[in-house]
Structure 1
């Protein structure tokens, strides 16, 4: 049996035709939706969610294509567009009774959160993004030999077929590589949690690849259209990131400032999985965001 967030109830909530999300809900008060990253599930928020539930209704779904949520086929390349996945999140919150909500995302979930903030500004009151760059900027800053750190982005951007076969041939080695490489504190991912992430990822290879493929295609188109039209995030925004900018040659805060007028950018001294490695700091940053 997979680990769960203690004290949270679990349900499946329909959000689109043929798509339901597996979701954990706990606490009471103003709503906060937490979106996980790769190669994880909602379980990555277990510490932060339990902390915030003292004051908020905390909603932790598995994104479409991940965990125990549905994994629709992607015949036209839009089923895993961040626009589609953001619409899932808004529909989820609305079904649970929340027309407006705060939203935080890590990694892939942060890309979904940003798209939700851009597409649904009336619904998203506050927004936090953990350890990611907006899609358009991510591709712009990767170049030369330093782009090797993001080899998986290029692999999963390839046309359907080869990436899925390569990853499915040795999924635990592929997904485990990132769990091991990106965690500065291995103890933050105990054996049971790590096993749950690997199990979930093994069952989701095609949809995970489709999610990443969208970020090399339709997601870029959507971001570029927003940039050309001057569409920006209108709500208070907090970004927590490792300091990758010095190594890769970019100013992360400046890149984010172009998207968010009311930005607080914080460098966090931990590994990529910061909600598991530094949960108290992440929870404190989210509480500070919600006061703005």
Structure 2
């Protein structure tokens, strides 16, 4: 393990490391605090910085580990030579290897958006390692594709775009990367002040430098991730650890019973709604932190 010069801004009080997790792949990770370990995984189109408020609070009594996922931020971005390169199974193995390199064989895990999909896969593949699991504002992959239909699926247009074969999606996004990624930072945020200018600039810079890997990550959800998750559902595999799901409060507009769908995956489920936009760790950090603390106490 060797020190890494992290991009600014940073999570105050956290040390930055670059840690090898697989052959040719190292992750950038911010680590702070002491106590039982909690790993926090960011979503799209963000980096580990999305956890800056929550991480600082949890670090008062936990060891908090905030990596950039494979393909994002300052972590390595291997070429997607196979479907497995950005499969959530592969990315989950990265997270387990990261925790072990830091001395933690067992840890709590929380993920937002894309990071939540990695967390779910880690919980399914590595149940002896993941003690508690939190998923923020995402559905398990098979459910996501099943509930997106008709005009309501327009909110997920980017998922259909990035599911296309390699070539066209990458060229289209690279041609106007800041506008593309900035669009989601704008429309998914109820409180624009929650993402200040310096953090927004960091997200946009990191995303435009990672278009091929971000597309490969999302493409995997329409291919190999869907295959893995569907096989687990057919086999009746579930998440045995305590699970908390945080979801935006869409009310009747949601159009389906998210909690009921989640219970088929997580028998020990606590399903909560949060009155904010998609980026709840930044828009409602106190509420998010409380939900995670309550989870860790279960």
The more displaced of 259-268 and 236-245 is 236-245
The more displaced of 136-145 and 246-255 is 246-255
8 Å CA contact retained: 2:117, 2:141: yes
User: So what's the TM-score if we normalise by structure 1?
Assistant: 0.99
8 Å CA contact retained: 1:141, 1:248: no
3-state SS in 1 of match to 2:84: coil
Q: Distance in 2 between matches of 1:160 and 1:189?
A: 31
- Pairwise CA distance, 1:145: 1.2
Unaligned runs of 5+ in 2: 1-6
Select 2:19's aligned residue among 9, 13, 17. 13
Q: Distance in 2 between matches of 1:103 and 1:146?
A: 30
Map of 1:213 onto structure 2: 219
Are residues 1:69 and 2:75 paired? yes
1:110-189 matches, cutoff 5 A: 110-189=116-195
Are residues 1:267 and 2:273 paired? yes
CA shift digits 1:59-85 (9 cap, x unpaired): 000000000000001111111100000
- Pairwise CA distance, 1:18: 0.2
8 Å CA contact retained: 1:12, 1:23: yes
Q: Distance in 2 between matches of 1:224 and 1:277?
A: 33
- Pairwise CA distance, 1:20: 0.1
Are residues 1:97 and 2:107 paired? no
CA shift digits 1:232-271 (9 cap, x unpaired): 0000000000134632411010111110010000010000
The number of equivalent residue pairs is 292
Unaligned runs of 5+ in 1: none
CA shift digits 1:148-205 (9 cap, x unpaired): 1110000000000000000000000000000000010000000000000000001000
- Pairwise CA distance, 1:2: 1.6
| Segments ≥4 residues shifted beyond 3 Å | none
Q: Distance in 1 between matches of 2:14 and 2:243?
A: 27
Q: Distance in 1 between matches of 2:223 and 2:162?
A: 11
Are residues 1:60 and 2:66 paired? yes
User: So what's the TM-score if we normalise by structure 2?
Assistant: 0.97
Q: Distance in 1 between matches of 2:157 and 2:250?
A: 16
